[in-house]
Amino acid sequence: MTTPKTHVQSALTVTALLALFIAGCARTSSTTSASRPTESPLKASYVDTHMHVVSTEPRFASTGKRPATSAEAGDGYVAAASQLISLMDKNGVEKSILVAVPGREGQEEADEASIREVAQNHAGRLYWMGGGASLASILEAGSTADTSTAALEARAQAILDSGARGFGEMISVHLCMSEKHSYQYAPPDSPAFMALADVAARNDVPIDIHLEAIPTEVPTPANLRAACSQNPANLPASIPALKALLSHNPKTRIVWQHGGWDNTGYRTPELTRELLGAHPNLYVALRVEKRQTQVGTQDSPMPNRIVTSDNKIDPAWLSVFEAYPDRFVVGADDFITPSGQLEGASVSYSETWTAINKLPADLRSKIGAENSRKIYKLN
């Protein structure tokens, strides 16, 4: 603000100065309001239920290079978490939940501890789910031994006692998308998964599950066999087992991640509607990947995306959202590196939140924020 000239000061009375000041403020306020678009308050309170921070850059996945020490890995997680916060700020996401998957062999618990630490360093913005890495081997074994089940329950309880908001990302059926990827299978109706569901119910926390939709055992599609030799000749039936897990303990909230990202052709809006209607404890997290074609193909469209080829919300999916507005959340499922790079066809952060912003306001509010706060108790 510049200082008024002396001759102007002498010509104006105190009353006139006040009048000019008030009028100027009014004009400034009016101009500012008119020139700046009104931003929905909801946009500043989005919640993402499923994000990854990793301690290395993508190139290490192809070379096999890993951090030499836990300290190196920890520094990478700190940098990646800071990059995620910046990305959240740019997209109006207030809170994100970090999940872990099996990574550095033999370092699963150390990696989960690093994720817990960076979440605690950003309290109120970042939260974390545990067990996705550290419990994976027990779930894959699907052990029926009472001692193994007891050990799982004890470890699971310790994870929650250390501050986790639930269990995730718990791998059930994970397809291999390239020779640098991995096939993983842990039957969701195994005694181990059932025991985990009981621990979750006792503590009133959710389980975040990765499970490809496969209604009955089927031969693995040719494109998936071509993409990765680890994929088996036949894909195991996952939907009956998921139903068994949901029915085992109706108090367990199961969040089925990656709705709208379908690699088998069976995760349809119709199946989703059927399961939501039959199981009140099932919730679905939505994801939109940049890749629009099936893995291993150049021109076969990915089925059952929640957006159409012209980037509009698919009417069939919208109908399910409207029928079950309290049962959907967002899980962008991107991997944030220390440099913040987001590259390749599998990226999904911007695409997912762009799709959510296309929803009607009432659904956008529930799916983008309100439901997650209730399911994960983020209030």
pLDDT computed for residue 15 by the predictor? 40
**Predicted pLDDT of residue 57:** 82
310, with CB counted inside 10 A (0-12, 13-18, 19+), is exposed
- What integer pLDDT is reported at residue 366 of this predicted model? 98
The pLDDT tens digits for 220-232 are 999 999 999 999 9
Q: CA 177 to CA 247: how far, in whole Å?
A: 31
- pLDDT (0 to 100) of residue 346: 80
| 218-219 vs 234-235, strand pairing mode | antiparallel
257 pLDDT above the threshold of 60: yes
Closest CA to 373 of 114, 36, 93: 93
- Taken as a whole, the chain contains a residue count of 379
pLDDT of residue 10: 39
Confidence class of residue 343 from pLDDT cuts 50, 70 and 90? low
Mean per-residue pLDDT, 64-70 = 45
Digit-coded pLDDT (tens) for 38-53: 334 444 599 999 999 9
200 token code pair = 């979750």
Answer for the pair 327, 335: CB distance below 8 angstroms, yes or no.
Answer: no
As a whole number, mean pLDDT of residues 95-124 equals: 90
- Position 5 pLDDT exceeds 80: no
pLDDT for residue 69 is more than 80 = no
Predicted confidence (pLDDT) at residue 34 exceeds the cutoff of 50? no
Average of pLDDT values for 143-157? Answer: 81
* pLDDT of amino acid 79: 95
**Which domains does the chain possess?**
45-375 (3.20.20.140)
User: Which 8-state DSSP code applies to residue 12?
Assistant: S
Question: Is the pLDDT score of 270 beyond 60?
Answer: yes
pLDDT band at 141 (very low <50, low <70, confident <90, very high): confident
Cα 256–Cα 260–Cα 266 angle in degrees, nearest 5: 80
Helices and strands in the chain, H and E counts: 15, 13
DSSP H or E segment with residue 172: strand 167-174
The pLDDT value given to residue 296:
85
Residue 70 predicted with pLDDT over 80: no
* pLDDT for res 170: 98
Report how far residue 257's alpha carbon sits from residue 348's, in angstroms, rounded to the nearest whole number.
13
If DSSP codes are grouped into helix, strand and coil, which group holds residue 18?
helix
Tokens 């200082």 correspond to what residue?
3
Q: In sequence order, what E strands does 23-166 have? A: 46-53, 93-98, 126-128, 130-131
Q: Mean pLDDT, the chain, as a whole number?
A: 86
DSSP 144: -
The number of CA neighbours under 13 Å toward the Cβ of 136 is 29
Over range 338-351, report the average pLDDT.
Answer: 84
Q: Which of 234-238, 292-296, 362-366 has the lowest mean pLDDT?
A: 292-296
- Decide if 373 contacts 48 (C-beta within 8 A): no
- At residue 325, φ and ψ (nearest 5 deg) are -65, -20
Residue 135, CA atoms < 13 Å, CB-side half-sphere: 37
Asked whether the predicted pLDDT for residue 14 surpasses 90, the reply is no
* pLDDT average, residue stretch 76-81: 94
Strands 126-128 and 167-174, sheet pairing: unpaired
Give the mean model confidence (pLDDT) for residues 99-123. Answer: 88
Say whether the peptide bond before residue 169 is cis (omega within 30 degrees of 0).
yes
Q: Which two tokens stand for residue 61?
A: 């996945």
Please name which of 69, 74, 116, 113 lies closest in space to residue 97, comparing C-alpha atoms: 116
Encode burial over 178-192: b for 16+ CB neighbours within 10 A, e otherwise: eeebebbbbbbbbbb
pLDDT band at 298 (very low <50, low <70, confident <90, very high): confident
Is-above-0.95 flag for pTM? no
